[in-house]
Structure 1
Amino acid sequence: MDMKRKDFLKASIAAAGLSAVPELAAARTSAAKRSFRFAFISDIHVKPERVAEEGMAKALQHIQKLKPKANFIVMGGDAIYDSLKATKEYTKQQWDLYQSILQKNNSLPVYNCIGNHDIFGWYNIPKDTGDPLYGKAWALKELGLSTPYYHFNKGKWDFIVLDSTQERNEGGYIAKLDEAQFKWLERKLDDIPSDHFISIISHIPILSICAGLYFGKNDPNGDLRIQYMLMHTDFFKIKDLFNKYPNIKNCLSGHIHLQDKVDYNNIEYFCNGAISGNLWKGPYYEFGPAYALFEFYEDGSCQREMISY
């Protein structure tokens, strides 16, 4: 290709605003100093089965070998295959397996987020609500958390980890924040210095186009359906709160097993696929097993690379 043609193509791409082109994406942050990098792994769904066990181990081993090294791991929820409808024996087997593989294959700090499948007994009939491990208690114990939502800091970046999954009166779960958590979020956002940058982590996406693509088809009337368990049903309430804080830069999630990025009102919403792909049966639609590698920069920007490990 001659230089004039090459220059013309570069200029045309820039004019079209195609920010997904790697060369242009890299240029956006080339002048910024990197603060840290981390792996976002989600939807492991580990279970006593060879493919799942080896897959989780390989993903963790791959992360340990990254160069430059990742500073930590964010685990975006659904660590185990399922405990919503499971016996105590099978739930314990899954958690023991998760802890064993993690201990043997990871040396990095892990920041955990609870997923819907990590919750014990909500789908069991009858529900044993008197069991001290019922609901989120078991997951909190296994993940080393005192509360299902919390905050941690990395220099000029503050991370807020939310609990997306609430029990639904009609049965099952719904994607939203309960009232106490929302009030906590209001206070926490107000406490963070305005010159810090904020990243929000949730298992279920706060905003995602993939939530409308999850079923792989239209409804009979042509609608794309976003069900109450696929994206935050309180998006508008959260969005109005976020509008008060221009230092909120991104939101990271899993749950959908698909990958997308939505830029909405100066916030980047990343849905980061699944370590398990289609529950260890290959890709889910176009997206195979993968994790996200994030680079966070001192100017408040970030970059994501999806890694097929």
Structure 2
Amino acid sequence: MSNRRDFIKVLGLGGAALTVPAGITLANPTTPGLADKIDITNLTLKGRVQSNGAGIPNVAVTDGVNIALTDKSGNYQLLSNKTARFVYITIPAGYAIPHNKGIANFYKAIDTKSNTFTANFQLERLEKDDKNHVFVVWADPQIISKKDAQALIDRPAPDLRDLVSNYPAGTLVHAVGCGDLVWDHFELIEDYREAVRITGVPFFNVIGNHDMDLNARTDDYSADTFKQNFGPTYYSFNRGNIHYVMLDDVFFIGTAKKYIGYLTETQLQWLEQDLKQVKPGSTVVVSLHIPTNTGAMRRNNDKQEELGGTVSNREQLYKILAPYKVHIMSGHTHMNEKWENGNITEHVHGTICGAWWTGPICSDGTPEGYAVYEVQGNDISWFYKSTNKPKDYQLKIYPKGYVKNAPDEVAANVWNWDKQWKVEWFEDGAPKGSMQQRVDFDPWTVELYAGDQLPKKHKWVDPTLTDHLFFARPSAGAKVIKVVATDRFGKQYSQEISL
């Protein structure tokens, strides 16, 4: 690469930015009356990554544009510029996750008063191998009031704490706060932090569309409050054999509550560099708020996708991820679904808040809750944990007449279903084969959320079509119907009802 292109990459602003007059100022969108200068003066970042006084080699250190690796003594030096806000590391495998009361702490805020900034990082080596570990995904806590915040603190926080306590002592667990940590009310961030503290689990956090500064004039400043509380909006870390990446796919378009699902060129270039340190064929877990893709357009027979519902330039992301075995973790939709294509599986998560804290289920009938992923080496298995329900609560059966479009059939909602599950039914103990999968509305969501007066708290909440409903037609004299769902890992879950 030429020296000129190296210089442009160091600036991190793209070629067009080089034409900006040196004295230009931008009004700070979150502090009216102040002005910030775009300062592209060179800045040298340097320091050491160490554990108990010993330097750690080959640790990736970044300013969000370029990446440097520590030398054999753990030292690094990175040419940056004064637009950079953080210097941060990719936590290597084999080390504990540094955190502040559960909020992952892997970064240093840069002081740009001088042309050199020194940032040292201290890590603690784990006493056990971390190839086997657990992680969970909390999608959309989305608290808008103190009442919502108390619900988060009282229900999912202790539920996760108790789940972790049931694993063998010493099990390594981390979590992803998958965006919409609050609902535009930044004073509630402290309540989110309290919920995280209660869990006893270190959380890595992703920015959502409700975590943005709505009075920012461009996307560039829309994450200011998030960054003040949680650090960079895109970064990576390692645990065991798995490489984890967090991305910011919420692009603010300068009008309150208007955004698109989009990954910036700066992020994509950073990701390309980040993945150079990851062996092809490895398992990579990517977390972001807006799903890269969903089945919503198909289910709703829409002619085009909603711009804020999926990632518009997802194909460019997929190209970068092509050499790896990839799991994408997303939220945003308040529904639970999975899709697979080639090397990619995307897990779109049901939410901690259900349907915005209006009832016990999401708009597709998925109970409020979170996903649990158990990692063994390169392999990941998973299940959905409904808040305050046992681990084996994985389906709900509805009697005949509950689904409007199927008056003579029983229906089962199997919310963590994917195409490798089997859903079978039994009538009075006799096996009847597979149930029929169809797109429809979960009947409980219709009862709770359908109509312009429901639910009372947020009347705009509506039921949504889902793929994970299954139907069977019992005989006239049937007395007991049992449904057995077998997941892709061979685990069976069952429920039965009397007719």
TM-score (norm 2): 0.47
Match of 2:309 in 1: 230
Match of 1:119 in 2: 212
Q: Relative contact order: is structure 1 or structure 2 higher (C-alpha 8 Å, sep ≥ 6)?
A: 1
| 1:77-226 map, 5 Å | 77-81=179-183, 83=184, 91-103=185-197, 105-121=198-214, 127=215, 129=217, 135-143=222-230, 145=231, 147-168=232-253, 172-194=258-280, 196-209=282-295, 211-212=296-297, 218=300, 222-223=301-302, 225-226=304-305
How far is the alpha carbon of 1:191 from its aligned partner?
2.1
Deviations 1:113-167 (A, max 9, x none): 111100012xxxxx3659xx95201011222x1x210000101111011101112
Letter in 2 for 1:212: M
Secondary structure of the equivalent of 1:95?
helix
List runs of 5+ in structure 2 lacking aligned partners.
1-129, 388-499
Q: Do residues 43 (structure 1) and 140 (structure 2) align?
A: yes
Bigger share in helix: 1
What percent of counterpart residues are identical? 22
Match of 1:22 in 2: none
Bigger share in strand: 2
Alignment partner of 1:287 out of 366, 370, 382: 366
Larger Rg: 2
Q: Determine the C-alpha separation between the residues in 1 that align with 2:374 and 2:319.
A: 27
The answer as to whether partners of 1:56 and 1:101 remain within 8 angstroms in 2 is yes
Letter in 1 for 2:284: I
How far is the alpha carbon of 1:303 from its aligned partner?
1.6
How far is the alpha carbon of 1:230 from its aligned partner?
0.8
Letter in 2 for 1:194: P
Q: Determine the C-alpha separation between the residues in 2 that align with 1:74 and 1:257.
A: 16
The answer as to whether partners of 1:52 and 1:280 remain within 8 angstroms in 2 is no
| RMSD of aligned Cα (Å) | 2.5
The answer as to whether partners of 1:249 and 1:301 remain within 8 angstroms in 2 is no
Q: 1:150 to 1:51 in 2, by over 3 A?
A: closer
How far is the alpha carbon of 1:54 from its aligned partner?
1.9
List runs of 5+ in structure 1 lacking aligned partners.
1-32, 84-90, 122-126
Alignment partner of 1:258 out of 325, 329, 335: 335
Aligned residue pairs total 249
TM-score (norm 1): 0.73
Greater displacement, 51-60 / 106-115: 51-60
The answer as to whether partners of 1:52 and 1:276 remain within 8 angstroms in 2 is no
Secondary structure of the equivalent of 1:65?
helix
The answer as to whether partners of 2:373 and 2:382 remain within 8 angstroms in 1 is yes
Secondary structure of the equivalent of 2:327?
strand
Letter in 2 for 1:270: H
Letter in 2 for 1:155: G
Q: Determine the C-alpha separation between the residues in 1 that align with 2:372 and 2:196.
A: 18
The answer as to whether partners of 1:289 and 1:308 remain within 8 angstroms in 2 is yes
Secondary structure of the equivalent of 2:155?
helix
